[in-house]
Structure 1
Amino acid sequence: MRIRVAVTVAVLAATAALAGCAGDSSDLPVLPDQPKVAATPPAPGGEQAAPPACDPRASLRPAGALPAPGDMPAGSYMATIQERGRLVLGTSQDTLLFSSRNPFSGRIEGFDVDMGRQIAQAIFGDPDKIQIKVIGYDKRVSSAADGSVDLVADTMTANCARWADVNFSSIYYEAGQKVLVSKNSTAKRIEDLGGKRICSAAGSTSFDNIGKVKAKPVLVAVARPAFGDCLVAFQRNEVEGISTDDTILAGMAAQDPYAKVIGEKFTDEPYAMAMNKSHPEFTRFVNAVLERNRADGTWKKTYEKWLGDFGPAPAPPGARYR
């Protein structure tokens, strides 16, 4: 039997129902003050006009040099945050290495959390002037869109559908979907698991992607409420593997000495931070912070702090602008 118990696993399992980790495929609720964009009207002749081209990686260009911490421009959303005295960050608490609750200190920490702290540092000169709000993976878009958080950093893939509802920063991490299996598995890639039961979170894009893998016979996709539940199912031999973003799988493998991540990534998942569309100046500000951090080595140091055990830090993703 492949049954393992660890303190961290227990913590993650207990919190899995509260927050998820990968992209969601559910629709965004229509908010009273933010109606959905109307469909493109039919072109002359009755044919539907082609939608405008979208580059989900292209964000809003920074507007000049960063203001000094504590001296945000009057009337800007950064000034609103400064006056409030804290930045509100939406993230999860069960994505080890990116945003998880430390069982000893009780603090939520990780690569994504540090991305938020760097924005707080730029506004206040103090990275600790931050309030972390735990949100479910299916609430990331709506939390940014309705203003209940200032910023979402939560292993969140920027895509064109989400751009309709929120603004994204430039890309700060390149992820991709892989699969986790037992160390005694002979599989080298997900296609080698035909007929096996592969777990992913219900309603996630990761779950949808399993059905697109060309394996013979087809993979059996097993849905669980969150990825913490998938890890428990894997350890109980109820499934043969888990498939989601490689970042999330790396956290699971770090907890479980009997698991490994295999194969090349079979999707591209560019992570970006999400913000309300009503404050484009805030998106430009966040992008200016990311630009500075790429150039001065802060991004590299953050990678080495949280992900250095998996190899040398790659070059940070380059920014693209609209």
Structure 2
Amino acid sequence: MIKKVTRLVRLLALFGIVTVFLTACGQRQSLSKQDVLQNDRASNTITWGVKADTKLFGLMDVKDNQVKGFDVDIAKAITKRILGENGRAKFVQVTSQTRIPLLKNGNIDAIIATMTITPEREKQVDFSKSYFDAGQSLLVKKGSPVKSVKDLDKAGTKVLGVTGANSVANIKKSAPKARVLELSDYAQAMTALKSGQGAALTTDNGILYGMATQNPGYEVVGGTFTKEPYGIAINKGQTPFKKSVNQALAEIEADGTYNRILKKWFGNVAGFDYKEAAR
């Protein structure tokens, strides 16, 4: 009898745990269906998904455990325009693989994480207008025979990329004979390049310039062979929030805030054309 009671208690406890888990999942999913702008105004906070491994755009500063970069500063400026000077920008670390799932689940309100606007992604999320016009390029060791994407289009040539990034699909189109090795993040991709696992690392030029500043023995080559406009990703159906983000972007471009942030992060980066990128 005691064993039966004990077994019943365990089953009830397990049922309770499952119920709580499913309820939490339901609440999280329903959160993505709510009016984001209304919720953010009520909490005076916008939660942004940002990268923490991408120099110049979003990189964790180990001194104070704060993510810093162009994307972060643009997010802060947009937050102030939407919520006012006391508005708070909260940041959640994302990767190319996790950013859309986190947005769809309602864990973040928007993604500002070097995310190229593409037709395929627009099937899943909505985008703001472009806030940074990048282009795909190559990072190689100085002195490398690789000078352009054409040099990679040879059977067996290994090219490094990051899983979930648009650049992986692009390199397969531009250098179909090359072999692509996908890593989980840019830190791993850079380590692979240094260890000779690939002839070049490919992604957007802005990201590569950041990696080059951290690794003086490497350089960006070949110009750009694609156009990669970055947009802020927002859940579908969040029209008021998207409209507010676009309006805020227009405001920070008009009053010079955008160019000040751009100059702060890219003004002294060797090879980067700051004047061409300014708005």
TM-score bin, normalised by smaller chain: 0.7 to 0.9
Question: In the alignment, which of 270, 276, 279 is matched to residue 314 of structure 1?
Answer: 276
Q: Distance in 2 between matches of 1:142 and 1:127?
A: 29
User: What's the counterpart of residue 165 of structure 2?
Assistant: 204
Contact 1:118 1:127 in 2 (8 A): no
TM superposition shift of 1:145: 2.7
Contact 1:294 1:316 in 2 (8 A): no
Contact 1:119 1:127 in 2 (8 A): no
TM superposition shift of 1:269: 1.0
User: What's the counterpart of residue 185 of structure 1?
Assistant: 144
TM superposition shift of 1:106: 1.4
CA displacement, residues 8-48 of structure 1 (integer Å, 9 cap, x when unaligned): xxxxxxxxxxxxxxxxxxxxxxx987xxxxxxxxxxxxxxx
SS at match of 2:90: strand
What is the RMSD computed on CA atoms of the aligned residues?
A: 2.4
* CA shift in 2, pair 1:77/1:237, >3 Å: closer
Q: Distance in 2 between matches of 1:306 and 1:235?
A: 25
Q: How does 1:1-322 map to 2 (within 5 A)?
A: 77-126=36-85, 129-193=88-152, 194=154, 195-214=156-175, 218-310=177-269, 311-316=273-278
* CA shift in 2, pair 1:264/1:128, >3 Å: same
SS at match of 1:244: strand
User: What's the counterpart of residue 12 of structure 2?
Assistant: none
The letter for the 1-side match of 2:235 is N
Q: Is the helix fraction higher in 1 or 2?
A: 2
Determine which structure has more spread, i.e. the larger CA radius of gyration.
Answer: 2
Contact 1:300 1:313 in 2 (8 A): no
Q: Distance in 1 between matches of 2:59 and 2:278?
A: 22
Q: Distance in 1 between matches of 2:86 and 2:234?
A: 19
Structure 1 portions without partners, runs of 5+: 1-30, 34-74, 318-322
TM superposition shift of 1:227: 2.0
SS at match of 1:142: helix
Contact 2:53 2:187 in 1 (8 A): yes
Contact 2:132 2:277 in 1 (8 A): no
Q: Distance in 2 between matches of 1:196 and 1:231?
A: 17
Structure 2 portions without partners, runs of 5+: 1-27
* CA shift in 2, pair 1:265/1:98, >3 Å: same
TM-score normalised by L of structure 2: 0.80
TM superposition shift of 1:316: 4.6
TM superposition shift of 1:261: 0.5
TM-score normalised by L of structure 1: 0.70
TM superposition shift of 1:129: 1.1
Q: Distance in 2 between matches of 1:83 and 1:257?
A: 46
> How many residues in Structure 1 have an aligned counterpart in Structure 2?
245
* CA shift in 2, pair 1:222/1:147, >3 Å: same
CA displacement, residues 31-74 of structure 1 (integer Å, 9 cap, x when unaligned): 987xxxxxxxxxxxxxxxxxxxxxxxxxxxxxxxxxxxxxxxxx
Q: Distance in 1 between matches of 2:94 and 2:120?
A: 20
190-199 or 259-268, which deviates more: 190-199
SS at match of 2:120: helix
Q: Distance in 1 between matches of 2:29 and 2:60?
A: 34
CA displacement, residues 134-178 of structure 1 (integer Å, 9 cap, x when unaligned): 123122223223322111100001122222222211111111111
TM superposition shift of 1:214: 4.1
Contact 1:172 1:290 in 2 (8 A): yes
